[in-house]
Amino acid sequence: MNIKEKIGIHLDQIKQLKGVENAVLTQRDGNPIQSAGVW
């Protein structure tokens, strides 16, 4: 399992929570990835 898969699973878990703000994080290669404002 690579880091992107781990992030995807983690984000799916976060999306199930209420009141979490959406934000954008930048990967090392500069491409934005969908993320959450609270980790």
Q: CA-to-CA distance for 36 and 32, rounded, in angstroms?
A: 12
Note whether 10 and 3 are within 8 A (CB).
no
pTM of the model: 0.32
Coil, helix or strand for 29?
coil
Question: What pLDDT, in 10s, does the model give residues 4-26?
Answer: 888 888 877 776 665 555 545 55
Note whether 33 and 25 are within 8 A (CB).
yes
Domain that holds residue 15: 3-36
Task: Pick the more confident residue, 6 or 33.
Answer: 6
Tally of domains in the chain: 1
- pLDDT (0 to 100) of residue 12: 77
* Confidence grade of residue 33 (pLDDT, cut at 50, 70, 90): low
Can you say whether residue 31 is alpha, beta or left, with left for phi > 0 and alpha for psi between -120 and 50 degrees? beta
- pLDDT (0 to 100) of residue 28: 59
